[in-house]
Amino acid sequence: MTEADALAAAEAFLTEGSPIRARRHGGGRIHESFVVDCATAGGVRRCLLQRVNDRVFPDVARLMRNVEVVLAQLAAAERNDPPPAATTTRLKLIATREGGTWRRDRLGQAWRAYEFVEATRVIDRVEQTWQALEAGRAFGRFQRAMSGLAPERLVMTIRDFHHTPKRLEALRLACADDVAGRADGAADALDRVERHAWLAPVIQSGLDDGGLPSRVVHNDAKITNVLFDAALPKAACVTDLDTVMPGSPLHDVGDMLRTMTSRHTEDDPDTSQVHVAPDLLEALLHGYVGEARAFLTAAEIEALPLSGAVIAFEQAVRFLTDHLAADVYYPVDAPGRNLLRARIQIAQTEALLAQRLRMKTLIDRGLADGQGDGAGPVST
Ligand code: GN1
Ligand code: MG
């Protein structure tokens, strides 16, 4: 899609003011995003327009119904339990002229629009300790708000999204098919994945046998999905609600541990940079546990220290599968990018495995801090 297509698509939304300019906006790997300037009498107002990727999310109507339910739940939680002053806790959709929350243009492309959250910024790696603390709090708070929402209220926008054993099965099939002749060149990564294959059922078997409860969680709790206040050392809110659906809080904690405990990005080619920084680990778990101790069960708490390794492993498996399938899912700037990404996630898996005991100590400390504060789940 071009910027001109986006500008034309913006006309269909009830933006404040008339759209005058659209610029491509970086970020996620799935949708195409644009910032649209709209002229009003009082100056320019901006919105975030997205072309929804309906190859990844084929049922856009159900996807958007989920997003509406989640935003309503966040609004209700905000009323019951007001956040610290001056923080934004949720995104706001802009309605279409027909009164819906999304629409298809005449070429059949699906579009939606959010109000632009001004005075915030996205970071692609954690640089400072407070960022890990605030991101942990933001996702913990999000999960706490969702703990009042029955999982049946949401549909699965992507089936088996965090079903790690099925992700591993898909990798093995892609390896057997080897459609692009890349398996030999990826042998090191494939071997290392197989060495850690025991991680695949750790969360899923708990969900299957009922030992771990199914809850509404974010499912893509990575650092780039947190908006930080542009001026204050605070997180404003979490973004990317497309995969908010039934799952386990462990999926989110896993994504946080894999993306917020080291000072590198998912695309950094230098795997020697992968590490778990003690200050980030401590801050992240402190921020998260402070919110989540209100609703986590003993079985969930016990599984927290392994969740990072499980989800880093799963992400390695997904990148590697896509590499073997010739990069059909994750966009790449050059062939081999998904293999590099997979190697980084494998290194991250190993670094997180080495920190299990330390994590348990930090989690126990976070739980003890909250004893007697009487916090309970947010019900709405
Ligand atoms: C995708 O679109 P984005 O960047 O928020 C992916 C996540 C992965 C992530 C890896 C729907 O997220 O599951 O963890 O890339 N989302 C989907 O960076 O597949
Ligand atoms: Mg996402």
Asked if 148 and 280 sit in the same domain, the reply is yes
Taking the CA of residue 57 as reference, the ligand 1 atom at the shortest distance is: 11
Which pLDDT score is estimated for 370?
Answer: 78
Check pocket membership of 32 for ligand 1, CB cut-off 6 A: no
In the block, residue with structure tokens 């850690």: 196
Regarding whether 306 and 160 lie in a shared domain, the answer is yes
Structure tokens at 7: 């500008």
CA of 30 to the centre of ligand 1 (A): 7
Tell me, yes or no, whether 148 and 61 share the same domain: no
Q: State which ligand 1 atom lies nearest to the alpha carbon of 243.
A: 11
Q: Are residues 94 and 146 in the same domain?
A: no
Provide the 10 A C-beta neighbour count for residue 7. Answer: 18
Task: Please report the pLDDT score of residue 376 as a whole number.
Answer: 46
**What's the pLDDT score for residue 373?**
56
Structure tokens at 219: 């499912």
Distance CA 68, CA 54 (A): 18
**Closest atom of ligand 1 relative to the 329 alpha carbon:** 19
Instruction: Look at residue 50 in the predicted model and tell me its pLDDT.
Output: 97
Bridge partner residues of 227 (DSSP): 237
Query: Each residue of 131-144: b (16+ CB within 10 Å) or e?
Result: bbbbbbbbbbbbbb
**Sheet hosting strand 120-121, strand order edge to edge:** 120-121, 226-229, 235-238
Does 375 map to a domain? no
User: Which of 66, 85, 118 lies at the terminal end of a domain, its last residue?
Assistant: 118
228 located within any domain: yes
Among 118, 137, 163, residue at a domain's last position: 118
The domain boundary residue, chosen from 118, 148, 182: 118
The pLDDT of residue 378: 44
- 378 within some domain: no
Do 260 and 155 belong together in one domain? yes
| The pLDDT value given to residue 28 | 72
239 lines ligand 1 (CB under 6 A): no
Residues contacting residue 346 through CB under 8 Å, at least 6 positions apart:
189, 192, 193, 196, 312, 313, 316
Residue nearest to atom 8 of ligand 1 (CA): 220
Shared domain check, 99 and 133: no
199 and 133 fall within a common domain? yes
Ligand nearest to the CA of 63: 1
pLDDT in tens, the chain (380 residues): 999 999 999 999 999 999 999 999 986 778 999 999 999 999 999 999 999 999 999 999 999 999 999 999 999 998 888 876 656 678 999 999 999 999 999 999 999 999 999 999 999 999 999 999 999 999 999 999 999 999 999 999 999 999 999 999 999 999 999 999 999 999 999 999 999 999 999 999 999 999 999 999 999 999 999 999 999 999 999 999 999 999 999 999 999 999 999 988 888 878 887 899 999 999 999 999 999 999 999 999 999 999 999 999 999 999 999 999 999 999 999 999 999 999 999 999 999 999 999 999 999 999 998 775 544 444 43
Domain that holds residue 100: 3-118
330 and 281 inside one domain: yes
For residue 255, the ligand closest to its alpha carbon is 1
Alpha carbon of 294 to ligand 1 centroid (Å): 28
Does 246 share its domain with 331? yes
Nearest-atom index, ligand 1, CA of 222: 14
For 52, the enclosing helix (H) or strand (E) is none
Amino acid 233 reads P
Mark whether 212 and 231 lie in a shared domain: yes
219 lines ligand 1 (CB under 6 A): no
- Please report the pLDDT score of residue 85 as a whole number: 63
Q: What is the CA radius of gyration of the chain?
A: 21
**Angle at CA 248, nearest 5°, toward 243 and 253?**
85
* Ligand 1 binding pocket includes 56 (Cβ within 6 Å): yes
Give the span between the Cα atoms of 224 and 222, in whole angstroms.
6
Query: Per-residue pLDDT tens for 240-264?
Result: 999 999 999 999 999 999 999 998 8
Pairing mode, strands 215-217 and 235-238: unpaired
Nearest in space to 179 (alpha carbons), one of 318, 321, 326, 334: 326
Here the CATH number for the domain that contains residue 187 is 3.90.1200.10
Do 69 and 136 sit in the same domain of this protein?
A: no
Number of domains the chain is built from: 2
Confirm or reject: Cβ of 164 under 6 Å from ligand 1. Answer: no
């709090």: which residue's tokens? 137
At residue 369, the 3 state secondary structure works out as helix
Within-domain flag for 376: no
Ligand 2 centroid to 239 CA: how many Å? 9
* Ligand 2 center to 241 CA (angstroms): 8
Helices 129-146, 249-260: axis angle to 10 degrees equals: 170
Q: Is residue 271 part of a domain?
A: yes
Distance (angstroms) between ligand 2 centre and the Cα of 218 equals 9
Distance 184 CA to ligand 2 centre (A): 30
CATH code, domain carrying 56: 3.30.200.20
Q: Is residue 377 part of a domain?
A: no
What does 224-290 look like in DSSP terms, one character per residue?
Answer: GGEEEESSSS-EEEE---TT-EEE-HHHHHHHHHHHHSSSS-TT-S-GGG----HHHHHHHHHHHHH
Report how far ligand 1's centroid is from the alpha carbon of 29 (Å). 6
Quick one: 205 and 234 in the same domain?
yes
Contact 315 CB / ligand 1 (< 6 Å)? yes
